[in-house]
Amino acid sequence: MTKVLILQGGTSSEREVSLRSGSSVKNALELAGHEVGVADPGNQDFDLATATRGYDIVFSVLHGTGGEDGVMQAQLDAIGIPYVGSNTVSSELCFDKWRYREKLLEAGFRVARGELVDLESFWQSDLVKQPFVLKPYDGGSSIDTLIQRDPNTLDRQTVEQMFANHSKMLLENLVAGVEITVPVLGDGALPVIEIIPPESGEFDYDNKYNGQSQELCPPLHVNEDVQRHARDMAVQIHTLCGCGGYSRTDMIVSADGSLTVLETNTLPGMTDQSLFPKAAAVAGINMPTLCSQLVQSALTNQTASA
């Protein structure tokens, strides 16, 4: 029996999602026969060395800053306990969306036109004269993300508030097309999911978790050749960025079938509403099997590299 410690909660803006992921993973691992404990780095008395004592491996679902940016991974490395997911270097790279997109550009992948901007350079950019996306370059779950389809209706106060929360942000042109996400498990891709936001909204933080968006697997508006290409690309990006265990890459499919890469998440959500478990289920992998496979894979890789 493997003793697994789940790290959940934390102090980032994604704490609520992390707690939900932790609950789902805990239930799944217990059903798979593992001995499971839970710890929350957001608690004042939290000490990582103490919390991990007696456990074989850590399964972190700490979304956001301090959890998937390489900080926790470095601390776990220092203690010497194995963990599920990507290592410190890969986590740092994919969490920094600007560095990530530069790496993809060097490797020949298509990304949206973009700039790293502060409040002053935002207003000076030509990108704000057309449909655009403004988002933190170091965050997730679509928190503090603005999708502006009509620049003429841009609310200045909203923008100023976003920059009050983030000194610099990633500004990209809005690529028209069908949004898809491609989960990677181990060294292979799971089925592609098409994301259809509510008719009067976007696939933002609220609509990700309130059940208002449609998530179609298999996709309705993406042909099989494009899906195959997307799966191949997701695996290539997973390898290029040094991801471990699992990842999920978001893309846009344009009308001509071309693929624009948006981002890669090294610590995908694992709630009952999350995309990764949904794709796994379509592939015939239930949640207990998925979580157990991630644990065993991490332990095997740790042994092989020792």
- Per the annotation, the verdict on 83 as an active-site residue is no
209 catalytic, yes or no? yes
Q: Domain containing 76 — which CATH number?
A: 3.40.50.20
For 206, residues 6+ apart whose C-beta sits below 8 A from its C-beta are 212
Identify whether 87 is a catalytic site residue.
Answer: no
pLDDT of 205: 47
DSSP 176: -
Same domain, 154 and 257: no
Q: Is 121 a catalytic residue?
A: no
Same domain assignment for residues 136 and 199? no
Answer positive or negative: Cα dihedral of 299, 8, 196, 149: negative
Distance CA 166, CA 148 (A): 18
- Token pair 């900080």 is found at 71
DSSP 8-class letter at 234: H
Active site (annotated) includes residue 269: yes
Q: Between 88-95 and 97-106, two packed helices, what is the crossing angle to 10 degrees?
A: 100
Residue 224 annotated in active site: no
Q: Which of 15, 209, 213, 247 is catalytic?
A: 209
- Decide if 99 is catalytic: no
- Note the pLDDT of residue 198: 75
pLDDT band of residue 201 (cuts 50, 70, 90) is low
Report the chain's terminal Cα–Cα distance, integer Å.
21
For the segment 80-121, what is each residue's pLDDT rounded down to a tens digit?
999 999 999 999 999 999 999 999 999 999 999 999 999 999
Q: Which of 115, 144, 179, 250 is catalytic?
A: 250
> Please, which residues bridge with residue 148 across strands?
132
Q: Is 27 found in the same domain as 65?
A: yes
Reduced to 3 states, what is the DSSP secondary structure of residue 110? coil
| pLDDT tens sequence across 153-172 | 999 999 999 999 888 999 99
Q: Using omega within 30 degrees of 0 as the cis cutoff, is the peptide bond preceding 218 cis?
A: yes
Active site includes 14?
A: yes
In a domain? residue 281: no
Q: Which among 213, 248, 274, 292 is annotated as catalytic?
A: 248
State the residue range of the domain holding 216.
Answer: 93-111+175-266
| CATH number of the domain where residue 229 is located | 3.30.470.20
